[in-house]
Amino acid sequence: MTSRTRKRLLLVLTVVLLLASLGWNSFRAAPLPAPPAFAGELPPASPPADMALVHLPTGITRRSAGFAYRGGDFADRRDFTMSAVLVRHPRGDVLIDTGFGRDIAAHFRQMPLYFRATTRYEAAEPAADQLDASGYARERLRGILLTHAHWDHVSGVPDFAGTPVLVPAEERAFIKEGGSLTAVARGFADVVYEEYRFDGGPYLGFPASHDLYGDGSIVVVPAFGHTPGSVVVFVTLPGDRRLAFLGDLVWQLEGISERAERAWLLRMLADADADGVRENLLRVAAIAARFPEMALVPAHDARSFAALPRL
């Protein structure tokens, strides 16, 4: 081995060790700075008296708190829930995400090798089958409102043939151009996408909003970052019960309560815009501090979904 070769190998080894050290350090607790206090009030809402929602669990993946957020314990095992939520509204029901669908095994095989090698999932009954078994009338379903278009949120879309899929233009473009991360959604045939605009004013610190029915009961805000068109869905039920469906802004509640973002490696792999995720995480943290009675529902936190009624 020549001296030049030894120097090159030493340089490569040094870079690898440095990256490994940086990666490991990024799993350590490092809370984001506290955001400015939110001083506004809850926006008005007039949900219909018969409005309600139910939780449709469709499976889990096996993870840990250490995977979910900086400072989490890798020995703290977590079941990441894969769920849909049916929101009943007299002007048309909405399904927030779909969770795992009937063809989840085929969808999982479309994911990148590194993801399949590090992911174990358990499928339960798909949301469509749960609704059909309950006697649910499909014509009541106004649309599928995606928090974002990753595999575990869209897998059930083909099970609802003909039902519009509601996305902002940014997420529709991501489905078309997102590479392996949106291969599952891109492979669906005959899906009817319905793009909406954020045509409303600021909402709880977010710069814009889209009020689905004009009554304040289902309001969508742009929370771009995890994907280019990720959203947060605010739902107000009768009795002024407020919920915020966060999608994958954070994977577990501690992401908000401890202001803990994902580790560097996971941000690089999972987030399209880590700065955008950070900004929106702090927006939600400020809302949570101002309105602790609002239920926060990260898409994969089983504890949040346990508090929701089942079908």
**76 in a domain, yes or no?**
yes
Task: Identify the domain containing residue 201 by its residue range.
Answer: 51-306
**258 in a domain, yes or no?**
yes
pLDDT tens track for 106-133:
999 999 999 999 999 999 999 999 999 9
- Supply the pLDDT for residue 32: 98
pLDDT tens track for 136-185:
999 999 999 999 999 999 999 999 999 999 999 999 999 999 999 999 99
The answer to whether 303 and 257 are in contact (CB under 8 A) is no
**113 in a domain, yes or no?**
yes
- Supply the pLDDT for residue 3: 60
**18 in a domain, yes or no?**
no
**42 in a domain, yes or no?**
no
Q: Residue 219 belongs to a domain with what CATH number?
A: 3.60.15.10
Q: How far lies 67's CA from each of 70, 153, 298, in Å?
A: 8, 19, 15
- Supply the pLDDT for residue 26: 85
- Supply the pLDDT for residue 2: 65
Considering its fold, how many domains does the chain have in total?
Answer: 1
**32 in a domain, yes or no?**
no
Task: Give strand pairing partners of 193.
Answer: 165
pLDDT tens track for 227-280:
999 999 999 999 999 999 999 999 999 999 999 999 999 999 999 999 999 999
The least confident of 13-17, 115-119, 213-217 is 13-17
The answer, yes or no, to whether residue 15 has pLDDT greater than 60, is: no
- Supply the pLDDT for residue 4: 59
| Mean predicted confidence (pLDDT) in 201-217 | 98
48-71 CB burial, b ≥16 within 10 A, e <16: eeebebbbbbbbbbebebbbbbbb
**21 in a domain, yes or no?**
no
pLDDT tens track for 41-95:
999 999 999 999 999 999 999 999 999 999 999 999 999 999 999 999 999 999 9
What pTM was computed for the model? 0.92
Q: What is the DSSP string of 110-175?
A: TS-HHHHHT--EEE---HHHHHHHTT--GGGEEEEE-S--SHHHHTTGGGSTT--EEEEHHHHHHH
**1 in a domain, yes or no?**
no
The terminus-to-terminus CA distance of the chain in angstroms comes to 68
Burial class (CB in 10 A: 0-12, 13-18, 19+), 290: middle
| Mean predicted confidence (pLDDT) in 303-310 | 96
- Supply the pLDDT for residue 16: 38
